[in-house]
Structures are given as structure tokens and as C-alpha cells.
Amino acid sequence: MTTSNQATERAHLNERPGFHIWWRLLRPHTLTASFIPVFIGTMLAVLDDSFKLLLFLAMLLAAMLIQAGTNMFNEYYDFVRGLDNENSVGIGGTIVRDGIKPKTVKRLAIIFFILSMLLGVYICLLSSWWICAIGLFCMLIGYLYTGGPKPIAYSPFGEIVSGIIMGTIMIGISYFIQTGTITLEVVIISIPIAIFIGAILLSNNIRDLDGDKENGRKTIAILVGRKHAISLLGISMTSSYMLTILFILLGLLPIWSLLALISGIKAVKAIKLFRQNSTNVAMIPAMVTTAKTNTFYGLLIGLSLLLQVLWPITL
């Protein structure tokens, strides 16, 4: 790629020097996938008359540190395995385009994991040491996502694993540390969020399908093809909305949760953008819109739980 083309590409990707390099390394557009589950789990606890602010803040920061660290491990191992180069899109680009040493990125990932462990100790002291085991398991999965001999990201199970870890488990932990217990209802309510988080990864894999295929990955998007993967994305998000309506009718969610259906506007837009574009760069807005769908849905679900506390409505 020529220098002029690289400049054009950077402009399109909104890449800037300085602090922005390190900010991109965090892949900030993905961090809502850690914020939303903690927020919802905590609001479910508020609905059950239990809320500890410091535990909420500690859990929120720990979850975001784990995800940011996982993103850094992804950046490092994709570079080591030769998947990323200066023309790759959708990555932080700190190694291949900004010249940050790979070992620096790896060390930062380890530091982020250590910081999350320290926060985990504080959380355990105020709740249960079982959280320590679950937290370590989540960090191990975060590392194995692109690290280890058989990375999860190279298999068809990435969406399922990320949905369970960042959706169901994170919501469950966030609820447990506030209430000291876990219920089947909380696990069931977590399912739509788990699906949306898996959808974020699926959208990423749809965008990267061609490059991933050349490098030997076996993601679900590669196995079913781009057209069917886009349809799967639409079905996944639609199922989350259908489950939301079902949960409201069953009384698992308050009627206020109908507000979350507003985020369907973003879901429709994401699918439309994927179907209208075929290049990596052109599909970035579709992927970002998918992430925003999860953000808006999660925020509205959390808000609906809070509204139910303030102004209870029953069917």
C-alpha cells in the first residue's frame, strides 16, 4: 500500500497519533460488552432491594480491565500468528501501523489482568471467594480466546463462549456480589444479552471473513458463508427481542422493558448495512451499529429495571 493510500485509510478509520494510539488499543467500541452486563446484573439486584455502590464500581472496572486486556492479547497473538498487517482493519493497529512493540502490548495486557485481580480480591472480601475462581476462569478464557495452541477465536465457538462469559456469567456475578445469591430468573434474563454479545463477535467475523479464511480460521461466518452469516445475525438479534417480549409476559421483566424494543431500529440498520456493503472498511459501520444495538438494548433494559423500582407497574 502506498503512503497516500495509507493516509486515506487512516483517515477513513479515524486513526490519529499520540494518546489516540493507546485508546485504540483498548478497542473502546467493544467495552460496552463488559459495561452492559455489570449494569444489568446490578439493576436486577436493585430491583431486589440490594445495592452497594463500591462493589458495583469495582466490578465494573474489573470487567472492563479484563475485556481491554483480552483485546490486547488478541492484538498481540493475531500479530504473532501473522493475521494482522498494516492493511488490516478493525484492529487497534498499534503494532502493525503505529510501531508499538509487541512485547509492550503483551505486558500491558498482563498488567490489566493483574489490576483486575486486585479488584477481584476486594470484591471477594466483601462477597465470596467463589468469585475469585470464577474471575480467574474468565481471565483464562480471555487469554485462550486468541492465545494457546487452539485459540477459541479460530473456531466456530467464539460467539457462544463470549456470550456465556461476558453475558450470563458477568450478569450473574454482578447480581451475586450485591445480593449474596443467584437465581434461575437472573440466568434466564441474561440470555438476550448473551445473544447480543455473541452478535457483536459474529458481526466482526462477517467483516473479517475473507482474511480469516485465508489464515485458516474456522469461524461460524466462514462455515456458513457471508450471506447466511448475515441472516444468522438478524435471526440472533430478532430472537433476543422475542425473548424480551416473552419475559415481560411471564413477569420476569417489567412492562417498562418494552422500551428496549426501541433499539431494534439499530438492529435493522446493522443488517441493512451488512447487506449493502462487501469490503472490510465499508462494513465497519455495520459492525459498530451492531455493538450500539447491544449498548442501547442493555441500557434500556437496565433503565427499565430502575423505573420498576421507582414506579412499579404490573400486568
pLDDT at 148 over 90: no
Lowest mean pLDDT among 86-100, 239-253, 299-313: 86-100
285 touches 14 (CB < 8 A): no
Question: Which tens digits make up the pLDDT trace of 52-108?
Answer: 999 999 999 999 999 999 988 988 988 888 776 665 655 556 787 777 899 999 999
Residue 194 has pLDDT above 80, yes or no: yes
Rounded to 5°, the CA angle 171-175-179 comes to 170
| CATH number, domain containing residue 67 | 1.10.600
Residue 183 maps to a domain:
yes
pLDDT surpassing 70 at residue 195: yes
Mean pLDDT (the chain) is 89
Is 73 inside any structural domain? yes
Question: Is residue 82 a contact partner of residue 146, using CB atoms and an 8 Å limit?
Answer: no
What pLDDT is stored for residue 96 in this prediction? 78
Number of domains in the chain: 1
- Give me the amino acid identity at 201: L
Task: Please report whether residue 1 resides in a domain.
Answer: no
Q: Compute the distance between CA of residue 266 and CA of residue 270 in angstroms, rounded to an integer.
A: 6
In a domain, 24, yes or no: yes
Residue 57 counted as domain residue: yes
The pTM for the full model equals 0.90
CA dist 199 and 9 (Å) reads 26
**Is residue 153, in this structure, part of any structural domain at all?**
yes
pLDDT of residue 147: 86
Flag whether pLDDT at 23 surpasses 50: yes
Let me know if residue 90 belongs to a domain.
Answer: yes
Q: Please compute, for residue 300, the number of CA atoms within 13 A of its CA located in the half-sphere on the CB side.
A: 19
Q: What is the pLDDT of residues 112-121, one digit of tens each?
A: 999 999 999 9
DSSP 183-204: -HHHHHHTHHHHHHHHHHHHHH
